[in-house]
Chain A
Amino acid sequence: MAAVSVLDPQGEFQLSSASLGESPGSADVPSSEQPELFLKKLQQCCVIFDFMDTLSDLKMKEYKRSTLNELVDYITISRGCLTEQTYPEVVRMVSCNIFRTLPPSDSNEFDPEEDEPTLEASWPHLQLVYEFFIRFLESQEFQPSIAKKYIDQKFVLQLLELFDSEDPRERDYLKTVLHRIYGKFLGLRAFIRKQINNIFLRFVYETEHFNGVAELLEILGSIINGFALPLKAEHKQFLVKVLIPLHTVRSLSLFHAQLAYCIVQFLEKDPSLTEPVIRGLMKFWPKTCSQKEVMFLGELEEILDVIEPSQFVKIQEPLFKQIAKCVSSPHFQVAERALYYWNNEYIMSLIEENSNVILPIMFSSLYRISKEHWNPAIVALVYNVLKAFMEMNSTMFDELTATYKSDRQREKKKEKEREELWKKLEDLELKRGLRRDGIIPT
Chain B
Amino acid sequence: MNHCPCFFRLKKGHGGSFRFLSQPIFWISDLQLPRRGPGGGRHQPIRVWVHPPRRNRTSGLSPASLGAGRGLGAKPAAATSRRRKNMAGAAGPGTGAGAAGGDGDDSLYPIAVLIDELRNEDVQLRLNSIKKLSTIALALGVERTRTELLPFLTDTIYDEDEVLLALAEQLGNFTGLVGGPDFAHCLLPPLESLATVEETVVRDKAVESLRQISQEHTSVALEAHFVPLVKRLASGDWFTSRTSACGLFSVCYPRASNAIKAEIRQHFRSLCSDDTPMVRRAAAAKLGEFAKVLELDSVKSEIVPLFTNLASDEQDSVRLLAVEACVSIAQLLSQEDLEALVMPILRQAAEDKSWRVRYMVADKFSELQKAVGPKITQDDLIPAFQNLLKDCEAEVRAAAAHKVKELCENLPIEGRETIIMDQILPFIKELVSDTNQHVKSALASVIMGLSTILGKENTIEHLLPLFLAQLKDECPEVRLNIISNLDCVNEVIGIRQLSQSLLPAIVELAEDAKWRVRLAIIEYMPLLAGQLGVEFFDEKLNSLCMAWLVDHVYAIREAATNNLMKLVQKFGIEWAQNTIVPKVLVMANDPNYLHRMTTLFCINVLSEACGQEITTKQMLPIVLKMAGDQVANVRFNVAKSLQKIGPILDTDALQEEVKPVLQKLGQDEDMDVKYFAQEAMSVVVQRLRKLDLPVKDCDEPSAPGADKNHFLRPRGPGEDAGKEGAAVRGGQSPCRAQVERLESSEASYILVAGSVAPNVPSSSSSLS
Q: Which of B9, B135, B136, B281 contacts A105 (CB 8 A)?
A: B9
User: Does B413 reach chain A (CB closer than 8 Å)?
Assistant: no
User: Does A88 reach chain B (CB closer than 8 Å)?
Assistant: no
Stretch at the interface among B61-69, B382-390, B554-562: B61-69
Q: Which of A207, A425, A436 contacts B132 (CB 8 A)?
A: A425
User: Does B208 reach chain A (CB closer than 8 Å)?
Assistant: no
Shortest Cβ distance from residue A309 to the other chain B in the assembled complex, whole angstroms: 26
- Chain A stretch 95-116: residues in CB contact (< 8 A) with chain B: 101, 103-109
Q: Which of A252, A288, A428 contacts B139 (CB 8 A)?
A: A428
Q: Which of A198, A292, A426, A429 contacts B277 (CB 8 A)?
A: A198
Interface size class of B (residues with CB under 8 A): 35 or more
Residues of A within 8 A of B117 (CB): 418, 421
Contact between A207 and B4, CB atoms less than 8 A apart: yes
Contact between A288 and B132, CB atoms less than 8 A apart: no
- Closest chain A residue to B94, Cβ basis: A436
- A107 and B87 CA atoms in complex are apart in Å by 43
Contact between B132 and A101, CB atoms less than 8 A apart: no
Residues of B within 8 A of A59 (CB): none
Q: Which of B68, B69, B199, B278 contacts A202 (CB 8 A)?
A: B278
- Closest chain B residue to A417, Cβ basis: B113
Shortest Cβ distance from residue A84 to the other chain B in the assembled complex, whole angstroms: 28
Q: Which of A108, A245, A252, A292 contacts B16 (CB 8 A)?
A: A108
Contact between A248 and B67, CB atoms less than 8 A apart: yes
User: Does B56 reach chain A (CB closer than 8 Å)?
Assistant: yes
Q: What 1/0 mask marks residues of chain B from 458 to 499 whose CB sits below 8 Å from any chain A CB?
A: 000000000000000000000000000000000000000000
- Chain B stretch 1-43: residues in CB contact (< 8 A) with chain A: 1, 4, 6-7, 9-13, 16
- A88 and B109 CA atoms in complex are apart in Å by 75
Contact between B108 and A104, CB atoms less than 8 A apart: no
Residues of B within 8 A of A345 (CB): none
Stretch at the interface among A6-14, A279-287, A395-403: A279-287
Residues of B within 8 A of A288 (CB): 69-73
Residues of B within 8 A of A208 (CB): 56-57, 61, 68
Residues of B within 8 A of A284 (CB): 67, 70
Residues of A within 8 A of B73 (CB): 287-288
Shortest Cβ distance from residue A35 to the other chain B in the assembled complex, whole angstroms: 33
Known contacts A107-B12, A157-B314; is A289 also within 8 Å of B70 by CB? yes
Shortest Cβ distance from residue B740 to the other chain A in the assembled complex, whole angstroms: 25
Contact between B354 and A101, CB atoms less than 8 A apart: yes
User: Does A137 reach chain B (CB closer than 8 Å)?
Assistant: no
Contact between A205 and B198, CB atoms less than 8 A apart: yes
Shortest Cβ distance from residue A360 to the other chain B in the assembled complex, whole angstroms: 14
- Chain A stretch 188-221: residues in CB contact (< 8 A) with chain B: 198, 201-202, 204-209
- A321 and B122 CA atoms in complex are apart in Å by 11
Known contacts A198-B276, A287-B72; is A422 also within 8 Å of B132 by CB? yes
Known contacts A104-B355, A109-B55, A202-B278; is A425 also within 8 Å of B70 by CB? no
- A292 and B314 CA atoms in complex are apart in Å by 36
Residues of A within 8 A of B72 (CB): 287-288
Residues of B within 8 A of A101 (CB): 316, 353-356
- A435 and B139 CA atoms in complex are apart in Å by 15
User: Does B590 reach chain A (CB closer than 8 Å)?
Assistant: no
Q: Which of A201, A252, A429 contacts B278 (CB 8 A)?
A: A201
- A205 and B281 CA atoms in complex are apart in Å by 13
Shortest Cβ distance from residue B94 to the other chain A in the assembled complex, whole angstroms: 9
Residues of A within 8 A of B752 (CB): none
User: Does A232 reach chain B (CB closer than 8 Å)?
Assistant: no
- Closest chain A residue to B124, Cβ basis: A287
User: Does A250 reach chain B (CB closer than 8 Å)?
Assistant: yes
Residues of B within 8 A of A376 (CB): none
Shortest Cβ distance from residue A279 to the other chain B in the assembled complex, whole angstroms: 9
Residues of B within 8 A of A436 (CB): 90, 95, 99
Shortest Cβ distance from residue B302 to the other chain A in the assembled complex, whole angstroms: 26
- A157 and B200 CA atoms in complex are apart in Å by 24
Contact between A283 and B160, CB atoms less than 8 A apart: yes
Q: Which of B55, B67, B91, B356 contacts A429 (CB 8 A)?
A: B91
Known contacts A198-B276, A206-B1; is A426 also within 8 Å of B10 by CB? no
User: Does A241 reach chain B (CB closer than 8 Å)?
Assistant: yes
Of residues A154, A249, A250, A321, which shows the largest number of chain B Cβ atoms within 10 Å of its Cβ? A250
Residues of A within 8 A of B138 (CB): 425, 428-429, 432
In the complex, 11 of the A-B residue pairs with CB atoms within 8 angstroms, ordered by the A residue number, are A101-B316, A207-B1, A208-B56, A209-B6, A245-B67, A284-B67, A425-B109, A428-B138, A429-B87, A435-B99, A436-B90
Which residues of A are in contact with B by a Cβ distance under 8 Å? 101, 103-109, 154, 157, 198, 201-202, 204-209, 241, 245, 247-250, 252, 283-289, 292, 321, 418, 421-422, 424-426, 428-429, 432-433, 435-436
